[in-house]
Amino acid sequence: MKKILLGILINILLSQSVYSNEKTEDYEFIDLSRHSRFKTFSNDKVKPTFNNNTVEWYYNPKSQHLSAFQQEDIINAFKNAMQSWSKVSGVIFSYKGITNNNIKAGNDEIITVGFWPENTYNKDFGNFSGTGASMWRTEEKKIFDGYIVLNAGDNGDPSVPNTLNDLEGLITHEVGHLLGIGHSDVEESIMYTKPYHSYDFQRTLRQDDINIARLLYPINEPVKPISGNPPICDAGLNPQTIKAGEGTTLWWWSDNVVSASINNGIGNVSVPSDFVWILPKETTTYTVTAKDANGATTTCQATLTVESETPVSGFPICEVGVDPQVISAGEGTALWWWADSVVSASINNGIGNASIPSDYKWIYPKETTTFTMIAKDSNGVPTTCQTTLTVESVNSASEPPICELGADPQVISAGEGTALWWWTDNVTAASISSTSKNSTVTLPSDYFWIKPSQTETYIMNAVAEDGTTSTCQTTVTVK
């Protein structure tokens, strides 16, 4: 089973035949603006969407060095995944560039995507591969913030994508959550979760995904006039202006016609209406030629403006950090950095010239050290940023063992299953016991899929190297 977040950030549960037979009682909502975990409003009929159907998003490269991918490939994977949803609906995605904004700020009204280190991710979300969320205020019915956090997999989690195609599939699913779409009960949907489909399957939207995307973000077509004798047609683009390398939806409709075609390589098209996803390289005018049964013709056209990609100009900026920021003598840490609008960079304390825009280096300092990065733009204007690594002397006293145990979901119906997850720190051995069995578990964190027949309490006993113990527990309620 894919370790994608199970039900923590569900916005809308889809029902079969959503488009033609919408049942609002089948939708479930969680108000993330009021609580960071589970707070369900089962009677909430609001289906929030982004204002003007437009999602402006930023990428934070802070922890990308811990993943298997490079920055340009990651950004393109996000663009491709978002394009899958734009192709079939009226939603528009606009990439705004690099940011050092906290990915999960939750109240800055900036859509930010990126990676977290595996341990940090697991402690916040559990043992999964990615999380997508949108936040709204119920009274406004508009999404004001959101994020996508991906597990960097730097501790070797085997379920984390290690190819760009798999990464794109994972992101496509999480973009659905960002748009306000929850998990579907239609098995062919990429938003289906019992069990999750493969990452490769999730790269391609199915009909149920298309239906809900169009329901929430309809393609803006004009109101059709009352049918008359002469053939008529109209055409348009959504959006009408794009940047080089981006795509758009070309739509058309007609009345009193039996055939239609469009120039610039599109050819014969369906009547009375349809749409097609296009990726032109330059500004292009598309002309629809439509004919009625008597051979009379009419034409309509739409012009797409393709803007040249221009580099973002501005002041040079940089950020540098260490992960982890506190280590014991003899241990190592990742010194990472990223910069924007710069042509060169260097770091003191023996690091030297630094690759730009971002990279990292594994270091083993023997004492507390401050690392300073100096980055310059093409005009020689410099900027500096720094971080301090704290190196603690080895103390013979052991840290106390800690553990956390939980289930997702916590309440199930008879015959259903749930993920029993845990994480530990300063622990050398641990086991989980219930009324039926006692099991040794993988450290420091992992999960089981369980199907208890009745309400059951699970207790973890965690043991440190010096023999001290810690316990934690959780109860799964079976209705």
- Is the predicted pLDDT of residue 310 greater than 80, yes or no? no
Q: Where are the domains of the chain?
A: 24-216, 232-307, 317-392, 402-478
User: What pLDDT does 182 receive?
Assistant: 83
User: What pLDDT does 436 receive?
Assistant: 72
Q: State phi, psi for 74 to the nearest 5 degrees.
A: -65, -50
Confidence of residue 394 (pLDDT cuts 50, 70, 90): low
Confidence of residue 283 (pLDDT cuts 50, 70, 90): very high
- Is the predicted pLDDT of residue 395 greater than 60, yes or no? no
Give the whole-angstrom CA distance, residue 407 versus residue 409: 6
Give the whole-angstrom CA distance, residue 12 versus residue 143: 13
* Residue of 446, 445, 443 lying closest to 428 (CA atoms): 443
Higher-scoring residue by pLDDT: 41, 77: 77
User: What pLDDT does 168 receive?
Assistant: 95
Instruction: Return the CATH superfamily for domain 24-216.
Output: Collagenase (Catalytic Domain) (3.40.390.10)
- Is the predicted pLDDT of residue 9 greater than 80, yes or no? no
- Is the predicted pLDDT of residue 373 greater than 90, yes or no? yes
Sheet holding 317-323, edge to edge: 317-323, 333-340, 358-363
Prior bond of 316 cis (ω within 30°): no
Q: State phi, psi for 348 to the nearest 5 degrees.
A: -75, -170
Chosen CATH of 232-307 out of 2.30.110.10, 2.60.40.1930, 3.40.50.300, 2.60.40.10: 2.60.40.10
Confidence of residue 199 (pLDDT cuts 50, 70, 90): very high
Residue with tokens 């549960």: 13
CA 406-410-13 angle, 5° bins: 125
CB-based burial label for 435 (10 Å; 0-12, 13-18, 19+): exposed
Give the whole-angstrom CA distance, residue 49 versus residue 38: 21
Give the whole-angstrom CA distance, residue 217 versus residue 91: 6
Residue with tokens 């594994």: 362
**Amino acid, res. 128:** F
Structure tokens, 434: 């219930």
168 three-state secondary structure: helix
Give the highest mean pLDDT range of 307-311, 330-334, 457-461. 457-461
- Is the predicted pLDDT of residue 456 greater than 70, yes or no? yes
User: What pLDDT does 30 receive?
Assistant: 33
User: What pLDDT does 169 receive?
Assistant: 94
Prior bond of 365 cis (ω within 30°): no
Structure tokens, 342: 């710069």
Query: In the predicted model, what is the mean pLDDT of the chain?
Result: 81
pLDDT digits (tens, 9 = 90+) for 136-171: 766 667 888 889 999 998 888 888 999 999 999 999
Confidence of residue 385 (pLDDT cuts 50, 70, 90): very high
HSE, side-chain direction, 13 A CA sphere, residue 390? 3
Chosen CATH of 402-478 out of 3.40.50.720, 2.60.40.10, 3.40.50.2300, 2.60.120.380: 2.60.40.10
Give the whole-angstrom CA distance, residue 127 versus residue 113: 19
Confidence of residue 398 (pLDDT cuts 50, 70, 90): low
Residue with tokens 């103390």: 395
Mean pLDDT value of segment 17-42: 28
Mean pLDDT value of segment 429-454: 84
User: What pLDDT does 208 receive?
Assistant: 86
User: What pLDDT does 368 receive?
Assistant: 94
Query: Using CA of residue 451, residue 475, residue 133, residue 155, what is the dihedral sign?
Result: negative
CA 158 to chain centre: 19
Do residues 117 and 323 make contact, with C-beta atoms less than 8 angstroms apart? yes
Give the whole-angstrom CA distance, residue 26 versus residue 303: 41
Domains 232-307 and 402-478 in one fold: yes
CATH for 317-392 is: 2.60.40.2470
- Is the predicted pLDDT of residue 17 greater than 70, yes or no? no
Residue with tokens 């190196």: 391
User: What pLDDT does 272 receive?
Assistant: 86
Task: Please give the model's pTM, rounded to 2 decimal places.
Answer: 0.51
Give the whole-angstrom CA distance, residue 99 versus residue 71: 13
Structure tokens, 448: 């089981």
